[in-house]
Amino acid sequence: MSQNPPDLRPDIAPRPRIDAAPRPGQPTIGMVSLGCPKALVDSERILTRLRAEGYAISPDYAGADAVIVNTCGFLDSAKAESLEAIGEALSENGRVIVTGCLGAEPEFVTGAHPSVLAVTGPHQYEQVLDAVHAAVPPDPDPFVDLLPGSGVRLTPRHYSYLKISEGCNHKCRFCIIPDMRGRLVSRPAHAVIREAAKLVEAGVRELLVISQDTSAYGLDLRHVSDKGHRAHITDLARDLGRLGVWVRLHYVYPYPHVRDLIPLMAEGLILPYLDIPFQHAHPETLRRMARPAAAAKTLEEIAAWRRDCPEIALRSTFIVGYPGETEAEFQTLLDWLEEAQLDRVGCFQYENVAGAQSNDLPGHVPSEVKQERWDRFMEKAQAISEAKLTARVGQRLEVLVDDVDEDGIATCRTKADAPEIDGCLFIDEGTGGLAPGDLVTVEVDEAGEYDLWGRRI
Ligand code: SF4
């Protein structure tokens, strides 16, 4: 369970580390990637295309002929961070192309930074490449610019995000993603499977399925079958599971058909892990958010999932201090959490976002009340996490190695831990011969609030 600072998104992604040595005279581009894993996937696609066209990628401003800043515009704080990053790139390099969510509001960017070379919106890969071509003409060398079949990835080699769709058909009042990213557009299932198979061939051991609304996948395609693969989340999850690596589902909106995924988890085809943002538990708060799912029903669903797959780990995110949230509504959420016993929880204090409908709702909650509710929520969440992890002591678990440091300490993850947002399992001794991407069995011998320790068996 991660204790997110209230001003960060739960899915905030690590800054990319780019290692590449350009040949003399090779056109070179830098990339600053802000925001969530979905934005990170966009950055990877842009870099893949640039590498394919013969550009080198610079890990610093000084070595780049121009810099792309892939921005985030989810919260006002994220917009401010994006503007700051653009300013830094301008002062360090001077030639800056802006893309990503903030690019949906070009005048907002150019108002603050009139000297940027170009502003393009989210997923406008062609426009980004056009802007790069104009700023730094390509100079391909067919003998050296060979691209690995899996493309350029900014995540460690043994796990990779896999984006299955863009956009969202919901209209949650606190969210402006549908305005920035548009309605749901799913990738054909065969294209997703082909990309996943290439990643597995290239050594990826874990696929992290992401989108704005994973359970809606294929709705816009009427769930058609094409080249042997049906565009429906249950079929896609099964097909991905057959690739023989860990498959983890993120951003699963709580639709009733989510229950069809549970048997795949029980069979071991996909990981017994569900990242499902409930946001709140009180029916009135959910109604004001324009979210579905009556709280009582959600508890029934959770009980049914656990009955069918006892191993399942549930991660969710919540907003406290939403406009109009009364103490009684908040208490309902706390009671619900006590009953739901979720494994991983992220919690955010409500924040206005320019353009969100919730800004105009009556009854905004004072910031000290939001903070107090957040503290109470996280205290309960932490106690649940600690008790759940303590119960794991003595169990034997399969873990995936993420890193082995120079002191021989291996940082690993269990099936219940997604990278960056959940906990870790550490092995302190006997890690000789282990490398990132290895799967090993451990016995858990110690538990903390969010992490575990174990020994190899
Ligand atoms: S489902 Fe998610 S992306 Fe879609 S509107 Fe709601 S919060 Fe935003």
- Mean pLDDT taken over the chain: 87
Q: Residue 443 pairs with which residues in a beta bridge?
A: 396, 455
**Residues contributing to the annotated binding site for [4Fe-4S] cluster:** 36, 72, 101, 168, 172, 175
What pLDDT does 294 receive?
A: 59
What pLDDT does 412 receive?
A: 97
What pLDDT does 353 receive?
A: 85
Which spans in 341-392 are helix H?
367-390
- From ligand 1's centre to the CA of 270, what distance in Å? 24
DSSP code string of 220-236: GGTT-EETTEE-SHHHH
The DSSP H or E segment spanning 287 is helix 283-289
What would the mean pLDDT of 32-60 be, rounded to a whole number? Answer: 81
What pLDDT does 143 receive?
A: 44
What pLDDT does 51 receive?
A: 79
Hey, which of 74, 163, 170, 253 would you mutate to test ligand 1's pocket, going by the most ligand atoms within 8 Å of its Cβ? 170
- From ligand 1's centre to the CA of 59, what distance in Å? 33
What pLDDT does 452 receive?
A: 97
What would the mean pLDDT of 126-137 be, rounded to a whole number? Answer: 85
Cβ of 177 closer than 6 Å to ligand 1, yes or no, is yes
Cβ of 447 closer than 6 Å to ligand 1, yes or no, is no
Q: In degrees, to the nearest 5, what angle opens at C-alpha 41 toward C-alphas 344 and 252?
A: 40
What pLDDT does 133 receive?
A: 86
From 125-134, 330-339, 353-362, 419-428, the region with the lowest mean pLDDT? 125-134
Residue 1 has pLDDT above 90, yes or no: no
- From ligand 1's centre to the CA of 314, what distance in Å? 19
Cβ of 178 closer than 6 Å to ligand 1, yes or no, is yes
Cβ of 289 closer than 6 Å to ligand 1, yes or no, is no
Q: Residue 401 pairs with which residues in a beta bridge?
A: 412
Helices (H) and strands (E) in the chain, counts: 12, 20
Distance of CA 245 to the CA centre of its chain: 19
Residue that wins the pLDDT comparison between 292 and 135: 135
What would the mean pLDDT of 236-260 be, rounded to a whole number? Answer: 94
What pLDDT does 8 receive?
A: 31
Residue 2 has pLDDT above 70, yes or no: no
If you count them, how many residues does the chain have?
457
22-44 in b/e form (b: 16+ CB < 10 A) is beeebbbbbbbbbbbbbbbbbbb
What pLDDT does 166 receive?
A: 86
State the Cα–Cα distance between residues 278 and 405, nearest whole angstrom. 37
Q: What is the DSSP letter of 35?
A: S
Under the banding of pLDDT at 50, 70 and 90, the label for residue 421 is confident
Q: Tell me if 237 sits within 8 A of 269, measured CB to CB.
A: yes
What pLDDT does 41 receive?
A: 80
Nearest to 39 by CA among 101, 96, 84, 81: 101
Which residue CA neighbors atom 6 of ligand 1 most closely? Answer: 172
Residue 293 has pLDDT above 80, yes or no: no
Strand 246-249 to 206-210 pairing: parallel
Q: What is the pLDDT of residues 85-97, one digit of tens each?
A: 999 999 999 999 9
From 57-61, 202-206, 305-309, 451-455, the region with the lowest mean pLDDT? 57-61
In this structure, the number of other CB atoms found within 10 A of the CB of residue 200 comes to 18
Q: Tell me if 337 sits within 8 A of 314, measured CB to CB.
A: no
- From ligand 1's centre to the CA of 277, what distance in Å? 9
What pLDDT does 39 receive?
A: 80
For 19, phi then psi, to 5°, come to -115, 115
Mutual angle of helices 189-201 and 233-241, in 10-degree steps: 20
Atom of ligand 1 nearest to the CA of 176: 8
Cβ of 210 closer than 6 Å to ligand 1, yes or no, is no
Q: What is the pLDDT of residues 17-43, one digit of tens each?
A: 444 466 677 889 998 888 777 788 888
- Distances in Å between the alpha carbon of 363 and those of 69, 76, 360? 37, 20, 9
Cβ of 46 closer than 6 Å to ligand 1, yes or no, is no
Domains of the chain, CATH where assigned: 28-135 (3.40.50.12160), 159-390 (3.80.30.20), 396-456 (2.40.50.140)
Q: What is the pLDDT of residues 382-397, one digit of tens each?
A: 999 999 999 999 999 9
Atom of ligand 1 nearest to the CA of 169: 4
What pLDDT does 371 receive?
A: 96
- From ligand 1's centre to the CA of 177, what distance in Å? 6
Nearest to 306 by CA among 270, 269, 343, 332: 343
Q: Tell me if 416 sits within 8 A of 401, measured CB to CB.
A: no
Residue 7 has pLDDT above 50, yes or no: no
**Token output for 311:** 């191993």
What pLDDT does 140 receive?
A: 56
Residue 217 has pLDDT above 90, yes or no: yes
What is residue 374's three-state secondary structure? helix
Under the banding of pLDDT at 50, 70 and 90, the label for residue 4 is very low
Strand 165-166 to 185-186 pairing: antiparallel
Cβ of 175 closer than 6 Å to ligand 1, yes or no, is yes
**Token output for 31:** 């990339």
Amino acid (one-letter) located at 437: G
Residue 263 has pLDDT above 90, yes or no: yes
Cβ of 172 closer than 6 Å to ligand 1, yes or no, is yes
Q: What is the DSSP letter of 451?
A: -
Place of tokens 């299932």: 189
